[in-house]
Amino acid sequence: MRVLILGGGASGLAAAICAAKAGASVTVLEGSRKAGRKILASGNGRCNLMNAGEPVYFDGRSFANRMLSAHKNELISFFGQIGLALAQEDGGRVYPATGRARDVLDTLLLYAERFGVTLLYEKKAAGISYGTGPDSLPRFSVICESGERFDADRVIVCCGGMAGLNLGHDGDAYSLLTGFGHSLVSPSPALVAIETERKPLEGLNGLRCPARLTLTRKGKIISSASGEVLFSDHGISGVCAMQLGSEVTGTDETVYIDLSPLFFPEDRAYERLSPPYPGLTCNESRVRALLEERKDRLGAADMLTGLLPGPLKNKFSRLSAAQAAKMICAWPLQVKGTRGMENAQVTRGGLETAEFDPDTCESLKQRGLYGCGEILDVDGDCGGFNLQFAFLSGILAGRAAAAE
């Protein structure tokens, strides 16, 4: 069985190892000069490669959940088979025990080589056709941008998504599968920083603090998330802001920043909140009472000193206790948009999952053709869910493609 894999990222390398281990002759066509570039960039160089907790997916939720509920153990045993020691941290986040993304990639490349996988670089696939070869047998033919042609019995498309500056494709890879009648759900950036009005952020660049964020559109609550927010000159980032960034459309939206978790550590819940959302100003009366008490004890000028980080204290120092409490609990910032696909970690949208088999990732439009990883319309939360889906879908596709 000749298996051709398009893309040497997380899903492509997992697929290559599993197909080769099952006895197939495997070639990976990688469009760029290096394999696994997103693996190296992931988790700030530490590679948060899976999550031990309940799955949290947004688009493609039922497809991903079904795959994980049936096959998650196979992912754990895959890492075990290639000898990658893992370590679990808060929130079920799983990293390589060495703490280095480089070791994940090196291990994958080592095993690909050991099982005889041929990895070819700068072979960007431009089209796939299916027909009868000169020997009258049906086969796939992949044509590369360079004009080179590769024939195979099975093709697995693992070209990833559009997210990440110079790390994703520019949308053209989707046509490898839409050419076979697959539908494309319009791609948009997910897990991405939010751009807001800039004036109120002056002096805050680089400041981090615990917060609860609530995104509203036309006054209606869309989503809410807690965690560490990072202020910049153009908006807010940090995991919780990036989670909300996935929901931003840029029309009539406001993000409310609740800074009260600064004073009430028990409110520093780092998990994504699910409906019903807390009120925008649920802590306002507590904060106001705290500020009134401090004003009486320390004086109005120092009510916020030592309580808020300096740059925030300066911003709110001219307000009364009541006004400051309101701002601290629901500081509204007008949303301008997101930092775009080049700054996103994941693509929302991609190939419609209903057109693939969740047990094998085989196309339901064309037998012998597979799609896995981020090219499909699956996006998960921060915490290892995206690499987890990429690896597992690659494992299933590789193994299925190698079978007669």
Applying CB under 6 A, the residues found at the interface with ligand FAD are 6-12, 29-32, 35, 37-38, 41-43, 48, 124-125, 158-160, 163-164, 167, 169, 173, 345-346, 373-375, 384-387, 390
Helix pair angle (61-81, 10-21), 10° resolution: 60
Rounded to a whole number of angstroms, the minimum distance from the CB of residue 50 to ligand FAD is 7
Q: How far is CA 402 from CA 12, 70, 199, in A?
A: 14, 20, 58
Nearer Cβ to ligand FAD (124/139): 124
Q: Is 71 helix (H, G, I), strand (E, B) or coil?
A: helix
Distance between CA 179 and CA 159 in Å, rounded? 15
Give the nearest distance from C-beta 376 to ligand FAD in angstroms.
8
The answer to whether the peptide bond before residue 265 is cis (omega within 30 degrees of 0) is no
Which C-beta is closer to ligand FAD: that of 160 or that of 368? 160
Which residue, 231 or 389, has its beta carbon nearer to ligand FAD? 389
Question: Cβ 6 to ligand FAD, closest distance in Å?
Answer: 5
How far is residue 175's CA from residue 180's CA, in Å, rounded to a whole number? 9
Give 262 or 375: the residue with its C-beta nearer to ligand FAD. 375
Q: How far is the CB of 375 from ligand FAD (least distance, A)?
A: 6
Residue with tokens 């929130």: 91
Alpha-carbon Rg for the chain, nearest whole angstrom, is 24
163 or 244: whose CB is closer to ligand FAD? 163
Tell me how far, at minimum, the Cβ of 167 lies from ligand FAD, in Å.
5
Q: How far is the CB of 31 from ligand FAD (least distance, A)?
A: 3
d(CA 246, CA 250): 11
Nearer to ligand FAD, 94 or 324 (CB): 94
Residue nearest to ligand FAD (CB): 9
- Tell me whether strands 25-29 and 2-6 are parallel, antiparallel or unpaired: parallel
d(CA 190, CA 349): 9
